[in-house]
Amino acid sequence: MTRNLILVSLLALAVPAVGCAASVQATAPPPPRLEAEVVVESPPPPPPVQVEVVPAPPSPEHFWIAGYHRWDGRAYVWVPGRYDRRPHAGAVWRPARWEARGRGRVWVEARWE
């Protein structure tokens, strides 16, 4: 009888422990941001900047990003201005630009750094 009591007691302790397993899920890191480079030996100058009316910001945390002409590999395309929140406190907006590389120039898209 004592042996049966010990077995029942051990089973009674083991059953609740089975449902107490912790589940840890690893969150996948965000996919890397792919940035294509367009190399042009002699890029044409961009068209004049379009005049935009800057509306009131939706909140004090929003930063106005002025519109600009983006190079799409063949021609410039207008990207209208917009409000955006900084991704973190020290973030700085870097406008799109051409960078000299070797004999040509590379188009670098606008982004937060």
**Distance (Å, whole) CA 107 – CA 68:** 13
Q: Which residues on adjacent β-strands are paired with residue 101?
A: 104
**Distance (Å, whole) CA 33 – CA 112:** 12
pLDDT reported for residue 26: 45
Radius of gyration of the chain (CA): 29
Q: Which residues on adjacent β-strands are paired with residue 82?
A: 65
pLDDT one-digit tens code per residue, 28-46: 454 444 455 556 667 788 8
Q: Using the Cα atoms of residue 107, residue 110, residue 112 and residue 113 in order, give the sign of their dihedral.
A: positive
pLDDT reported for residue 24: 43
Give me the residue spans of the domains in the chain: 35-45+60-113
Q: Give the global pTM.
A: 0.56
pLDDT reported for residue 37: 58
pLDDT reported for residue 36: 56
Mean pLDDT, the chain cut into blocks of 10 residues (113 residues total): 50 48 46 55 83 94 91 89 92 89 85 93
